[in-house]
């Protein structure tokens, strides 16, 4: 049985003061015991969040990490080993905003994924199609290629200690959500692709849905058989809303 997971990606939001407020809100949440909860603050605020959430069952992750596992001459980057040292458990790999705006390609993402795992971080691989790709019937082809890149490079076993987030780009921050059935169809295809290589890995890996998830649509989405929780953007910046989404995952 897979444990559900709700992850809050704060993206490039927050000041020390607003983060302190959000931490305070999170500390007061009653969280369901069967759900793994994690937040992904900007790197600048990771120490503050790790300290502020001590004793609370919320893990902390980073939104990005370097292609090299250990420290070195890589100006401006933060290594997975530094993130572990700071108290992180997870790292996002290949969020569509980084694929699109930073030009991150599969080869780079394979290295980031491997480097994260080498340090004991759990990578959350983000995959998903653009509106144009969906409208031209290429959704499954695109998602399969993004997933296949890691399988080819690192082997399907790499997903024994990883999470996958399916995020249709057209649903991110737009208020448009994939219908539960649209999301389920893609999640089922992802699991089938993994199962073709290794059914145990396929059954064990958690597949999160991301894209305009709110408390109001979470129950229906998380009720689908291959949706094991969510990667939440905007709604994770409000502790009460985030708490309600976590409770929806616990139903
Ligand atoms: O990482 C989170 C996703 O990009 C979803 O963002 P959103 O909930 O604001 O649409």
What's the sign of the alpha-carbon dihedral 113, 117, 120, 123? Answer: positive
Lookup: tokens for 165: 């987030």
| pLDDT at position 5 | 98
Q: Is 11 annotated as a binding residue?
A: yes
| DSSP result, 74-89 | -TT---HHHHHHHT--
Tell me if 236 CB under 6 Å of ligand 1: no
Residue 219 near residue 15, CB atoms below 8 Å: no
pLDDT along the chain (251 residues), means of 10: 96 98 97 96 98 97 97 96 98 97 95 98 98 96 98 98 97 88 98 98 98 96 98 98 97 77
What is residue 233's DSSP assignment? S
Q: In 10 A of CB 106, how many CB atoms?
A: 18
Tell me if 226 CB under 6 Å of ligand 1: no
Domain ranges within the chain, ordered by starting residue: 4-239
Active site residue: 45, 95, 104, 241, which one? 95
| pLDDT at position 175 | 83
Of how many residues is the chain composed?
A: 251
The residue whose CA is least distant from atom 6 of ligand 1 is 233
Ranges assigned E (strand) in 28-173 = 35-40, 58-62, 90-93, 122-127, 163-166
Residue 147 near residue 164, CB atoms below 8 Å: yes
Dist. CA 72 → ligand 1 center (Å): 32
Lookup: tokens for 72: 């070195």
Q: What is the fold of 4-239?
A: TIM Barrel (3.20.20)
Q: In 10 A of CB 29, how many CB atoms?
A: 17
Q: Is 173 annotated as a binding residue?
A: yes
| pLDDT at position 238 | 98
Tell me if 241 CB under 6 Å of ligand 1: no
Tell me if 9 CB under 6 Å of ligand 1: yes
Q: Is 28 a catalytic residue?
A: no
Phi, psi of 37 (to 5 degrees): -115, 135
């Amino acid at each position: 049985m897979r444990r559900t997971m709700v992850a809050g990606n704060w993206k490039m939001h927050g000041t020390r003061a607003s983060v302190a407020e959000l931490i305070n809100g999170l500390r007061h949440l009653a969280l369901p015991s069967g759900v793994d909860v994690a937040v992904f603050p900007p790197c600048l605020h990771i120490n503050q969040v790790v300290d502020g959430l001590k004793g609370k069952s919320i893990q902390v992750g980073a939104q990005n990490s370097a292609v090299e596992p250990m420290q070195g001459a890589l100006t401006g980057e933060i290594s997975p080993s530094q993130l572990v040292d700071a108290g992180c458990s997870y790292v996002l790999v290949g969020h569509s905003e980084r694929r699109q705006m930073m030009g991150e390609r599969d080869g780079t993402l394979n290295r980031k994924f491997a480097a994260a795992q080498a340090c004991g971080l759990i990578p959350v691989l983000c995959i998903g199609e653009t509106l144009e790709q969906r409208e031209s019937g290429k959704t499954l082809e695109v998602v399969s290629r993004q997933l296949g890149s890691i399988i080819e490079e690192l082997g399907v076993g790499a997903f024994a200690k990883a999470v996958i987030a399916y995020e249709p780009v057209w649903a991110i921050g737009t208020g448009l959500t994939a219908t539960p059935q649209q999301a389920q169809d893609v999640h089922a295809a992802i699991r089938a692709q993994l199962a073709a290589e290794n059914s145990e890995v396929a059954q064990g890996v958690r597949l999160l849905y991301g894209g305009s998830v709110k408390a109001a649509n979470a129950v229906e989405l998380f009720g689908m058989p291959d949706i094991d929780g969510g990667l939440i953007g905007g709604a994770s910046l409000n502790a009460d809303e985030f708490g309600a989404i976590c409770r929806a995952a616990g139903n």
